[in-house]
Structure 1
Amino acid sequence: MVTTSRAERVSAAFVRITDTLVADYDVLGLLHALVEVSVDLLDAAAAGLLLADPHGELQVLASTSERSQLVEILQLRAGAGPCVECYQTGKSVAVEDIHSLNGKWPEFQTAALSQGFRSVHAVPMRVRGKTIGAMGLFGEHPGALTQEDYAIGQALADVATIGILQERTLRESALVNEQLQRALNSRVLIEQAKGVIAHTAGVNMEEAFRRLRDFSRANQKTLHDTALHVINRTLSL
């Protein structure tokens, strides 16, 4: 039987995470890889991950078990818990013994204990001060993560966060390019429509544009659509 060292397992975990960062990669695939390797490396019983949507609302996007998913969902419903606080502050949160919360996060405490969890450690998904979510590592026994485990968990989360932010940037850039191209295409249509109006109405180009613009505003239509109707001769100005 071949055994591997901790260093080899950590290296393999990072390779698995980075291997998901290929062209057109699936964000959910990346997040599931993150929680799976974290559980394996950090001796956790389960892991769940909350990620903020474009509106800043947290959503459960990955988990290693139905138990951890349920606890994360109940945190969201209550609006409070270690992972929610971790996201809000951008700092790790440790609960070494869930029994000893002493009234803090009662909904989370009840849910976690009912699922057999006795400890939880939340790690922020952040890069350069920007926090986009949090990963919760659940244990079946009380206890703390070592500094080394925290460092590994944070490093894994950071790599995944970089990938997600890069994907969002590329998607937003593609959207901007699409909008710019549409604007350029619309400009061509508008110039053509101005020419049609100027020719058929016997007015100059400035007057033609004024008619085009005024009709669009009065009828709550875009200049693009109005120009298209003029060119297709379904609208006469």
Structure 2
Amino acid sequence: MTPEQRLADVFVALAGCTTDGPPDVAGTLTVLAHGSPSLLGVGAAAVVFAPDEHEAAHVAGSDPAVSRLEHDAVGWREGPGNDCHRTLTPLTQAALDGRSARQRWPHYAPRALGLGYARVVALPLRGHTGISGALVLLSHARQSVLTPGTLTLGQSMADFTAVTLERAREADRSRTLAAQLELALSSRIVIEQAKGVLAARLEMTVDDAFAVLRTHARSRQRLVSVVAREVVEGRADPGLAGE
């Protein structure tokens, strides 16, 4: 398989993870992490996705050891991925055994060196609404320094992933909101119908009928909409008509 075919397969797989239903964040990140090493010529890759400070970060790596490293880095709040996400800028060709890396990443650098990696690159996941994480690329000492063209390709993969997840999450939120609105409208209609039934049965105004319905539901710690549906369907507590 040619590099172009492998690249096309990765992009198709990334898009396919979010085609239908809720976004498959883990699957999407795994595709990017596993596809990056061979396409970009690095030893390993990891992806950190944290679009919301109130949401736990999602992490995926090309192998278990790198996954654990990046998971721990999230807890340490250090490492190239954290710096890239925080500063909103790429981090390129940093030597893990240099003084700067050891000072900036006292936990991350020794651990990465222990896994056999000598250099690291971090590219931001850039979506339409901002930076949502980082793609971390780890290289062995014997591997070549990444060329500008390779870095551009890596950035394109990171950006495509960010935009794909962003759109999928937006679509999922829209579906959830639509379902909530539909449920609210359905409940409102059933309540109005129940008010009419009770008003006719008890010979009172619809406002008084709603008060009866609400009091009955609250006294039994039930939803008004559930009791209303029972009234409409003729399954309500017989005592309701006498209240």
Listed as ranges, the matches of 1:92-131 within 5 Å are: 92-94=90-92, 96-100=94-98, 101-131=101-131
1:57 aligns with 2:60: no
Describe the shift of the 1:206–1:129 C-alpha distance in structure 2 as closer, same or farther (beyond 3 A): closer
1:46 aligns with 2:57: no
- 2:187 aligns with 186
Q: Tell me the residue number matched to 1:136.
A: 136
Which stretch of the first structure deviates more once superposed, 182-191 or 143-152?
143-152
Report deviation, 1:135.
1.2
CA distance in 1, matches of 2:129, 2:193: 49
Shift of 1:108: 0.6
Normalized against structure 1, the TM-score is what? Answer: 0.84
**TM superposition shift of 1:197:** 1.9
RMSD: 2.6
TM-score with structure 2 setting the length: 0.82
Letter in 1 for 2:152: A
Residues 45 and 137, structure 2, Cα contact 8 Å, conserved in 1: yes
Structure 1 CA distance for aligned equivalents of residues 80 and 8 of structure 2: 25
* Percent identity between the two aligned chains: 27
CA deviation after TM superposition for structure 1 residue 109, in Å: 1.3
Query: How far apart, CA to CA, are the structure 2 residues paired with 1:122 and 1:56?
Result: 21
State the Cα distance separating 1:124 from its structure 2 match.
Answer: 1.1
Structure 1 residue matching 2:141: 3-state secondary structure: coil
Task: Report the count of equivalent residues.
Answer: 230
Displacement of 1:151 in angstroms is 1.0
Q: Which amino acid aligns with 1:103?
A: Q
Contact 1:96 1:144 in 2 (8 A): no
Structure 2 letter corresponding to 1:120: V
CA distance in structure 2 between the aligned counterparts of 1:121 and 1:186, rounded to whole angstroms: 53
1:21 matched to which residue of 2?
15
Q: Which structure 1 segments of 5+ residues have no match? A: none
Q: 1:129 and 1:193, CA in 2 relative to 1: closer, same or farther beyond 3 A? A: closer
Preserved CA contact (<8 Å) 1:16 1:33: yes
Cα offset for 1:98? Answer: 0.7
Distance across 2 between alignment mates of 1:95 and 1:219: 66
Per-residue deviation, residues 161-205 of structure 1 (Å, max 9, x unmatched):
221112112211111111111112102210121022212322111
SS in structure 2 at match of 1:158 = helix
Greater Cα offset, 227-236 or 157-166: 227-236
Q: Distance in 2 between matches of 1:220 and 1:84?
A: 47
What is the rounded CA distance, in whole Å, between the counterparts of 1:81 and 1:219 in structure 2? 55
Aligned to 2:154: 153
Contact kept in structure 2, 1:87 and 1:133, CA below 8 Å: yes
**Contact preservation (8 Å) 1:82, 1:94:** no
Unaligned runs of 5+ in 2: none
User: Paired residue for 1:87, among 78, 85, 88?
Assistant: 85
Tell me which moved more, 22-31 or 115-124: 22-31
Distance (whole Å) between structure 2 residues aligned to residue 145 and residue 20 of structure 1: 23
Using the alignment, how far apart are the partners of 1:144 and 1:215 within structure 2? 73
* Contact 1:121-1:136 at 8 Å conserved across structures: yes
Aligned-residue offset at 1:106: 0.6
Residue type of the alignment partner of 1:40: S
